[in-house]
Chain A
Amino acid sequence: MKGIIRSFLLTPPEKSSLLNIPRGEVVVKMQGITKRFPGVTANDHVDFELRAGEIHALLGENGAGKTTLMNILYGLYRPDEGEIYVGNRRVKIGSPKDAIKLGIAMVHQHFKLIESLTVAENIALCIEEYKFFSHIQDVKKNIGELSEKYGLRIDPDARVWQLSAGEKQRVEILKALIRRAKILILDEPTSVLTPPEKRELFKILRRMAEEGCGIVFITHKLHEVMEVSDRVTVLRKGRVVATLQTSETNPKQLAKLMLGKEIPLRPITHTASLTYKEAPILEVRNLYVLNDRGSLAVKGVSFEVFAGEIFGIAGVSGNGQRELIEAITGLRKVKLGNIILMGEEVTNRTPKDIIERGVAFIPEDRLNMGIAQDLSISENLILKKYRYTPFSGHLFLNLDHINKWVDKLIKEYNIITPSSRLPAGVLSGGNIQRLILARELSGNPKLIVASNPTRGLDVAATNFVRSLLIEQKKRGVAVLLVSEDLEELLMLADRIAVIFEGKFMGVLPTSKADVNRIGLMMAGIEMAKVRS
């Protein structure tokens, strides 16, 4: 009871003892860390060391155990074996609260913010000094000062659900700054950012490092390691394979360490030879769609996608891509305009109807829209099939057939899991995407709608997804590919449309596209004006 009262009322501002550790000294040492989950050893005797003032990249493929290792340091998981030292003192970190007391902050891969609260309230939540009766105005003032100092623009009164992914990340970083965290962990921070946001983030991290903060930067992107880190530790299948000075290594060596074998970094090249004479598979005519807040997100978009074509849509996230895709897949009401699928009007039809016409959907939000997290892997794989023969008879599921089918898909799509009975939510990001692809593509679709299908995936998984899309295209499937990764579009798409504030700034064949031109269009300049 005394503890309760103290934590609510009088928590004295306990100064982190780390504040005075000079740059270059070791602040965190993890020794022999082992963590087992049912069926996998996520960390196998891992040694890891972080110094004050360095940016230390933690590199590894999907499922290598990066997040697990850092969750242990942040007190979310308890290690089965191993020791942790923070500032030379052996510590037991039993909860995030302990970690916070030690001056550790973590920006999670999927942000940990309370959507219904405001930015200021979310930040107030994690400030120890902020006492019972302190006024939220103080927190706002604090936020104001820090965002000025570090150039993190944010409205403290906005509710978190109104923010873009980039803004949410800024809130998480502000949380660390406001606590004066001495150790900052970022779990794949760039996967939700646009290129300018990314540059801004790197600048802030550099600055924090100069001020003596030790930063762990989890990623599986080699060029980011080279760009931002001082040292790099490579994990493979739960083990540390090397810790190197970034200046003494190169992407090729890192790729080899990470994957355990050589892999071509960019195997796919683009081939386009379409005539556009046949009738299109998908036709969108003058489409208007509202967003969640009730304002127009798509404003009069028209285009066609042909069989055997990948039609790319480029643009910074939040310019109407999501609403456009949800309208096409039947998840969102169309305000005005038509969607025509293989000659038939499907505007405002149900998702079930649209699926049955042969539309596969690879959503951006894998975890919530792509899978049912609590259902098993095998249930997820038959989610769109269970009601048809031979998957079920009149009354009962045909388990024999289902099991055979599921085993085949798991093998074909290389989904790594100890059992198909595990809940799909425990799979790593890359494996979740493989599961979704397996389900969607095994139905012989006519049209594939994919939204940022490689976001957050490692090299191997990215290549896998891309080669599957190419393969489908070659089979004569029409592909609508929305991506924020311009390079990906230039690599895969036959034509690229650029969307800005709900309108197409222009559509051009990839052979005539270049990064500068598209970049200008992404900023809202129409194609005709870019030319002149």
Chain B
Amino acid sequence: MEHWLVPPLKVAIEAGTPLLLASLGELYTERSGVLNLGIEGMMLMGALSGFIVALITGNPWLGLLSAMIVGGLMGALHAFVCISLHANQVISGLALSMLGVGLSGFIGKRFVGIPLKATFGVSPIPLLNKIPILGSILFEHNVIVYISYILAIILWLILHRTKMGIMIKAVGENPAAADAAGVDVYKVRYVCTIFGGVMAGAAGAYLSLAHIPMWVENMTAGRGWIAVAIVVFATWDPLRALLGSYLFGGVEALQYWLQPWGIDPSLLGTLPYIATILVLVIIGSSKRLRRAMSAPSALCKPYIREEKVV
């Protein structure tokens, strides 16, 4: 007999995984001082290219790989425009989102409704899934979910326990000081922005190869924006992003369960954003929290060296 807690939490993790993948990438991008609002578009392009490649090759791994490449390319474009050309990050990100929505809708027309055989199916981890309650919540998923657990922990370790983490934080907080300390500001920002794109692509592939296994126009349905909100909600910390993703994944699942009861899903859809604003209000009201948890100081600010260095 299954515990009553198991199904909802399991679904929360399933629905939270694309949010987690995308927000982990966005988190690193923002930590390095670059805001990427193109996540939604990158996820869509990732979902579509992953679907097409998996359909043609019959191999979901190749699909995932191509989604990551496409996401990475879009990330590189964003990086070039924002870092090398010093353009406005908000505008470039929004443009990429719209581009992704439009382009994936256009290319994807022919693929709508085709069923996909090469998917990531559920593969329980033997032994671990026998742990009472927790086992079936955590260890009866597809393989990407497992990868995302490990990734969140590794990314937390890198950010807080390695030199690379210090470099990324330094570049996002004070690029001039990082530059003077010998850190290549552009390189770090490029790497983080491309990484954010790769992760967004993977998040899209999760949707079209595991979560829904098919291509539907606009199938991300705003998950890219929720990922951006999760980064703020998590105050730029990978493990809190994990928590936030599953929380908001749960909210998403709740929509379907509550619909028969007459609760409007669009209303529930606003919950992640309300929660994010609440977090901002809580942080803003305490000086100590603001010091420890506020956005990277140089977020959205292009770095140009020969400006007055007093």
Query: Which chain B residues border A116 with CB–CB below 8 Å?
Result: 169, 173, 291, 297
CB <8 Å contact, A4 and B163: no
CB <8 Å contact, A114 and B163: no
CB <8 Å contact, B182 and A96: yes
- Complex Cα distance, B184 from A425, in Å, reads 25
A224 proximal to B (CB < 8 A): no
- Complex Cα distance, B310 from A130, in Å, reads 29
B110 proximal to A (CB < 8 A): no
Query: Which chain A residues border B167 with CB–CB below 8 Å?
Result: 8, 125
- Complex Cα distance, B141 from A486, in Å, reads 72
CB <8 Å contact, A71 and B179: no
User: Which of B178, B180, B184 is in CB contact (< 8 Å) with A108?
Assistant: B180
User: Which of A97, A101, A292 is in CB contact (< 8 Å) with B184?
Assistant: A97
Query: Which chain A residues border B305 with CB–CB below 8 Å?
Result: 76
CB <8 Å contact, B310 and A106: no
- Complex Cα distance, B188 from A190, in Å, reads 34
CB <8 Å contact, A97 and B182: yes
A388 proximal to B (CB < 8 A): no
Write the chain B residue with the least CB distance to A68: B309
User: Which of B162, B173, B177, B306 is in CB contact (< 8 Å) with A132?
Assistant: B162
- B282-294 Cβ-contact flags toward A at 8 Å (1 or 0): 0000010001000
CB <8 Å contact, A131 and B181: no
Write the chain B residue with the least CB distance to A76: B309
- Complex Cα distance, B306 from A426, in Å, reads 11
B176 proximal to A (CB < 8 A): yes
Query: Which chain A residues border B187 with CB–CB below 8 Å?
Result: 4, 7
Main secondary structure of the interface of B (DSSP, over half): helix
Query: Which chain A residues border B128 with CB–CB below 8 Å?
Result: none
- B144-162 Cβ-contact flags toward A at 8 Å (1 or 0): 0000000000000000011
Asked whether A7 and B184 contact (CB < 8 A) given A116-B291, A132-B163, A429-B310, the answer is yes
Query: Which chain A residues border B181 with CB–CB below 8 Å?
Result: 96, 100, 112, 122, 125-126, 175
CB <8 Å contact, A114 and B291: no
A150 proximal to B (CB < 8 A): no
- Complex Cα distance, B166 from A96, in Å, reads 18
B3 proximal to A (CB < 8 A): no
Docked complex: B155-203 residues within 8 A CB-CB of A:
161-164, 166-167, 169-170, 173-174, 176-184, 187, 191
User: Which of B161, B180, B291 is in CB contact (< 8 Å) with A76?
Assistant: B180
A49 to chain B, nearest CB (A): 24
A133 proximal to B (CB < 8 A): yes
Query: Which chain A residues border B306 with CB–CB below 8 Å?
Result: 76-78
CB <8 Å contact, B164 and A110: no
Count chain A residues whose beta carbon lies closer than 8 angstroms to a beta carbon of B. Answer: 47
CB <8 Å contact, A126 and B182: yes
CB <8 Å contact, B308 and A124: no
User: Which of A77, A95, A134, A175 is in CB contact (< 8 Å) with B179?
Assistant: A95
User: Which of A71, A117, A134 is in CB contact (< 8 Å) with B169?
Assistant: A117
Docked complex: A101-125 residues within 8 A CB-CB of B:
101, 106, 108-117, 121-122, 124-125
B55 to chain A, nearest CB (A): 30
CB <8 Å contact, B169 and A114: yes
- Complex Cα distance, B291 from A292, in Å, reads 11
CB <8 Å contact, A115 and B173: yes
Write the chain A residue with the least CB distance to B292: A116
Asked whether A110 and B169 contact (CB < 8 A) given A8-B164, A132-B163, A133-B162, the answer is no
Write the chain A residue with the least CB distance to B175: A114
User: Which of A8, A95, A114, A124 is in CB contact (< 8 Å) with B173?
Assistant: A114
A367 proximal to B (CB < 8 A): yes
Query: Which chain B residues border A113 with CB–CB below 8 Å?
Result: 174, 177
Of the listed residues A74, A122, A175, the one surrounded by the most CB atoms of chain B closer than 10 A to its CB is A122
Interface residues, chain B, with chain A CB atoms under 8 Å away: 161-164, 166-167, 169-170, 173-174, 176-184, 187, 191, 287, 291, 297, 305-306, 308-310
Interface residues, chain A, with chain B CB atoms under 8 Å away: 4, 7-8, 67, 71, 74, 76-78, 95-97, 99-101, 106, 108-117, 121-122, 124-126, 128, 130-134, 136, 161, 175, 292, 294, 367, 373, 425-426, 429
Sample 26 A-B pairs with CB under 8 A, ordered by A number.
A4-B187, A7-B187, A8-B163, A76-B305, A95-B179, A96-B181, A99-B182, A108-B309, A109-B310, A111-B177, A112-B174, A113-B174, A114-B177, A115-B174, A117-B166, A117-B170, A124-B166, A125-B167, A125-B181, A126-B182, A131-B163, A132-B162, A134-B163, A175-B181, A425-B310, A429-B310
In the A-B complex, list the 10 residue pairs whose CB atoms are closest, starting with the nearest.
Answer: A112-B177, A112-B180, A126-B181, A100-B182, A97-B182, A125-B181, A114-B170, A426-B308, A114-B174, A114-B173
Other CB < 8 Å A-B pairs besides A96-B179, A429-B310, 15 of them? A4-B187, A8-B164, A67-B309, A76-B305, A100-B182, A108-B309, A112-B174, A112-B180, A114-B178, A115-B173, A125-B182, A126-B181, A132-B163, A133-B162, A161-B291
